[in-house]
Amino acid sequence: MEVYMRNKILMVLVVFSTVMFFSAGSLMAQSQEAAKPQAPATAAPSAGAQKPATPLAAPAAPAATPAPAAPAPKAAAPAEAPKAAAPAAGTLSKLEQAIAQTPQGTGKGEINPDSPRGFLGIPGGPTPFWFYGILWGIWVGWIFSTVGAFGGIMAGVGHISVFGLGDYAASFRKTSPVLNKLVTDSIRTSNQYLVGLSALMSSVTYYRMGRLVLPLGIALAVGGIAGAYLIPVLTAGKISLKAYVGYFGIIVFVIGAFLFYDTAPAGQAKKKKAKQAAQAFQEAVKKGASAGDLAAQGVQVKSWSLSRVNFSFYGVEFNFNPIWPVVGGFFIAALSAFLGIGGGFLYVPFLTNIVNLPMYVVAGTSALAVFVSMITSIFTFMFVKGTPIDFLFVGAELVGIAVGSVVGPYTSKYIPDIWLKRLFVVLALYIGLGYTLRGFLDIRLPGI
C-alpha cells in the first residue's frame, strides 16, 4: 500500500511539474512575441493620423493686386511620404519600453542598437557561454539536492558574479533605473527556475528513498503559496540591484552564523533524537543495505491530523503540530521570493531546530516546500508582473540542474550529517559576508 501511494503521488508531481515548467516558458515566449509592434502598413494614413491635405491648396490672392494664374494643385501623397505614427507604449513589452527609454551610445549605461543581442535580447548585453551554464547548473543542482538548500543562493552567485549579470544591471542604475530593476527581477526569476527544477527532481528521488516527510513538506508548501505570491506583487520593478545584493548578503550571513552555533557542541546537545536517527541511517549505509531496505526503514507516517503528525525514521519517533510549518512556510517563502532564491537555507534551520529532524530527511522535505513556492513565485513574476526571462541561457543551465539533482541524493548518504551542516555554514558565512560588503560598501571578496 505504501509503495502504491508513493507511486501515485510521484505521478501527480511529475505531471504537475511538466505542465508548469514547459508551459510557463512557451506561454511567456508567445506573450512577448505578441507584444512586439507590427510593421506599419504602407497604405495611406488613416483619417486620424494626418490631416495636412487641405492646407496644401494655394493660398487666396490679396484683393488689391491681380492674382496670377493659380498653379495646379499639388498632390498630397507624393509631396512627402506619410510617416508611420510611433507605436503606442501599450504595444511594447516592459523590456522593449525600458530599452527604448535607455540612452543610446557605447558608454557605460548606454545601449548601442548596432551591437549583437545578448542577455534578454538586449543589444550589447552579456552573452554567457552555454556550456559554462551547464557546468554551473550541475553544481547548483548538486548542492541543493545534497543539503536541501543553497541552490538559489548558488544560482544567484552564478548570475550576479560568474556570468556578469550583476555588473550589467548595475550599469543602468543612473541612466535607466527601469532597465536596472527589470534585469534584477529577471535574475531573481532565473534563480528560481533553476531551484524549481532541482527541487522537483530532488523531491521525487528522496520520496522514493524514504527520506521525505510528506505531511511536513505539504504544510510548509501551503503556507509558502501565499508568501511566494505576495512578495513579487509588492516588489517587482521596485528593487535595485545594489539593494538586492546587500539584503541578499545580510540574510545569508545571519543564517550562516546561526547554523554555526547549531553545529557546535552546545547546539548538538539539544538534538539527541536527530543524532540517534542519523547514526542509525549511517550504520545501515555502512553495512551495505540495499536501496529497498533503506527505503523500508525510512520515513513512516504513523498518524496524520490537523493538530498532530507522528512519524518515524529508522526507529526513532518524531512528531509536530502542522500549524507551525504553515506559519513558518509563509514567512520563509515571502523572504525567499524577495531574494529570488529557493528558501532552502531557511527551511533547513527551521526543520533542524524547530522540528529537530536529522539532515538526512531535511533535504527532501525542504525540496518539496521549495518546489511549490518556486512554481507560485515564477508564475507571479512572469505572468502577473511581466518579468522577462532569457530562456536560451536558462535552458542550458536547467540541463546541468537535471544532472546535479540526480547525483546529489545518492552522494549525500555517504557524507556524515554534521559535515553536511558544516558545508552549509561555510558557504553561508562567506557568501553572506561577500554580498553584504559588495551591496553596501562596494567591497568585493574573491569570487563575489
H helix or E strand, kind and range, residue 311: strand 309-313
Q: What is the SS3 assignment for 330?
A: helix
Region of residue 356 (phi > 0: left; psi between -120 and 50: alpha; otherwise: beta):
left
Q: What is the pLDDT of residue 117?
A: 95
Of 167-171, 243-247, 364-368, the one with minimum mean pLDDT is 243-247
Nearest alpha-carbon partner for 187 in 404, 372, 339: 339
Q: Is the pLDDT of residue 75 over 70?
A: no
**Looking at residue 269, what DSSP letter applies?**
T
* Residue scoring higher pLDDT (72 or 144): 144
Q: What is the pLDDT of residue 49?
A: 42
pTM for the structure as a whole = 0.69
In angstroms, the CA 192 to CA 387 distance is 13
Mean pLDDT of the chain: 78
Nearest alpha-carbon partner for 242 in 177, 155, 193, 336: 177
Q: What percent of the chain has pLDDT over 90?
A: 31
**C-alpha cell recorded at residue 54:** 487641405
Task: For residue 184, count other CB atoms closer than 10 A to its CB.
Answer: 29
Predicted confidence band of residue 268 (pLDDT cuts 50, 70, 90): low
In angstroms, the CA 183 to CA 387 distance is 9
Q: Is the pLDDT of residue 439 over 70?
A: yes
Q: What is the pLDDT of residue 54?
A: 40
**C-alpha cell recorded at residue 30:** 508567445
Q: Is the pLDDT of residue 66 over 80?
A: no
Q: Is the pLDDT of residue 264 over 50?
A: yes
Q: What is the pLDDT of residue 267?
A: 65
pLDDT in tens, 369-408: 989 988 988 998 888 888 999 999 999 999 999 999 999 8
**C-alpha cell recorded at residue 187:** 535574475
pLDDT in tens, 149-199: 778 888 988 999 899 999 999 999 999 999 999 999 999 899 999 999 999
Cα–Cα distance list, 340 to 71, 236, 313 (Å): 70, 11, 33
| For range 282-290, the mean pLDDT | 80
Q: Is the pLDDT of residue 312 over 60?
A: yes
Cα–Cα distance list, 371 to 85, 197, 260 (Å): 46, 8, 26
In angstroms, the CA 380 to CA 20 distance is 12
The answer to whether 203 touches 13, Cβ cutoff 8 Å, is yes
Q: What is the pLDDT of residue 284?
A: 84
Q: What percent of the chain has pLDDT over 70?
A: 77
In angstroms, the CA 186 to CA 232 distance is 12
Dihedral over alpha carbons 205, 209, 214, 217 (to 10 degrees) = -50
For residue 1, give every residue at least 6 positions away whose Cβ sits within 8 Å of its Cβ, in sequence order, or none: none
In angstroms, the CA 337 to CA 15 distance is 24
